[in-house]
């Protein structure tokens, strides 16, 4: 009975979340992401790890997993105060592309009008997604620290950090 309950709970969890959650005292490989430049302290943050290839970066998670490709996701509520950090497990040491989404309404889908987005390497954004190489990060054997600056819609045709 208990294994059936565990399978049902895992099936209800969004794709990649169970694999992306850091475990207490686990040494890695994982990213320790410091999120900077939040517009506000509401909603949720989603950190997503993709293969570092343009065709796979920001692709549909179910397609990636069905094809046996790497995809991991960590979802955390935005803390009311203090430093914002997310731990995201990687499948193995290597190079991946990282995106962090500030889902301000915690609806699960990205809204161009309301939500924020940031990437490893903090590339300058317009209205197109960056190339995978611009959002790439190399994950080591242990915890790999990185900082991601969030970008929000500014005007009709660009995204950028708050106050810049």
Contact criterion met (CB below 8 Å) for 32 and 143: yes
DSSP string, 72-116: EEEEEEPPSSS-EEEEEE-SSSEEEEEEEEEETT--SS--TTT-E
Say whether 62 sits in a helix, a strand or coil: helix
| pLDDT for position 115 | 94
- Distance (Å, rounded) from C-alpha 147 to C-alpha 138? 13
| pLDDT for position 3 | 40
Tokens of 59: 């692709």
| pLDDT for position 109 | 82
pLDDT digits (tens, 9 = 90+) for 78-125: 999 999 999 999 999 999 999 999 999 988 888 888 999 999 999 998
CB atoms within 10 A of CB 140: 13
State which residues of the chain have pLDDT below 70: 1-15, 164
Reported pTM: 0.87
- Distance (Å, rounded) from C-alpha 89 to C-alpha 72? 7
């Amino acid at each position: 009975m208990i294994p059936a309950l565990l399978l049902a709970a895992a099936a209800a969890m969004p794709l990649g979340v169970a694999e992306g959650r850091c475990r207490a005292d686990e040494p890695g490989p994982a990213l320790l992401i410091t999120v900077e430049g939040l517009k506000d302290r509401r909603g949720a943050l989603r950190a997503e790890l993709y293969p570092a290839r343009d065709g796979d970066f920001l692709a549909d998670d179910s397609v990636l997993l069905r094809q046996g490709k790497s995809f991991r996701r960590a979802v955390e509520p935005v803390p009311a105060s203090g430093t914002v950090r997310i731990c995201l497990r990687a499948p193995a040491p290597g190079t991946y592309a990282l995106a962090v989404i500030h889902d301000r309404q915690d609806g699960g889908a990205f809204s161009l009008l309301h939500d924020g987005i940031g990437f490893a390497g903090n590339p300058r954004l317009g209205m197109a997604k960056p190339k995978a190489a611009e959002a790439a990060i190399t994950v080591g054997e242990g915890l790999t620290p990185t900082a991601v600056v969030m970008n929000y819609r500014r005007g009709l045709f660009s995204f950028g950090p708050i106050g810049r």
